Amino acid sequence: MPRRRAPRNGRVFALILFFAAATANKSAVTARPVPSKAMSACTAVTSEDLERALGRRFVRGEEATTGAESTCDYGSGNGQVSITIQRLPAKLNLPAEIESLKKTIEDSSVRMVPGLGSEAFYLDIRGAGTQLHVIRGDRDYIMVSILGLGDAAAVSAAAEQVARTVLDRI
């Protein structure tokens, strides 16, 4: 029986965040290369890293790179983990971004995460999982999206572990 892949959602959620930024802040967004030790999101987080964090096997990541954004999607059964790394062109208005995300994604709620990057928050999506959004400094942006592998309470610690791995490598 062929393995069923989960739909790619990393780019969708990353686009939601950046769409929200575009509507909240009228400044133009220009692409810049991601300044990092890791060449890509798939290099920053491997399937082995995800297996350690979540305790299950993942298929090899599929990468998409556009301008200053690198996204890697990993599948496991009907679940998906997406890692996005981007160098932002300007500092975000985080409260406005959070409000926009909550309005855009129904049944979502936000939890702030102290001690991770400069600012970080979970966007918990009821019945689906969570996304951990991390800003380091004013410009390094990381998103770890874990959907279809348990509710937010079940996968939040793994998302934080993965985000810390990314922060150590970029």
pLDDT for the residue 17: 40
Within-domain flag for 143: yes
Whose CA is closest to 98, among 65, 74, 131?
131
pLDDT recorded at residue 170: 84
pLDDT for 138 equals 84
How many domains does one find in the chain?
Answer: 1
Among 138, 145, 105, residue whose Cα is nearest residue 122: 145
Beta-strand ranges (E) seen in 27-153 are 62-66, 69-76, 79-87, 108-112, 119-125, 129-136, 140-147
What local confidence, expressed as pLDDT, does residue 46 receive?
94
Res 163: pLDDT: 96
Q: For residue 77, what are the domain limits? A: 30-169
Q: Is residue 9 part of a domain?
A: no
Residue at 5 is within a domain: no
How many CA atoms are closer than 13 Å to the CA of 136, on its beta-carbon side? 19
Contact between 83 and 45 (Cβ < 8 Å): yes
Q: Is residue 96 part of a domain?
A: yes
Task: Give first-to-last CA distance, the chain, whole Å.
Answer: 38
Residues of the chain with pLDDT under 70: 1-39
Predicted pLDDT at 152 = 95
Residue 155 inside a domain? The answer is: yes
Is residue 17, in this structure, part of any structural domain at all? no
- Answer yes or no: is 131 within a domain: yes
Does some domain include residue 12? no
Per DSSP, the three-state class of 72 is strand
Q: Determine the pLDDT at residue 13.
A: 43
pTM over cut 0.85: no
| Residue 134 confidence (pLDDT) | 96
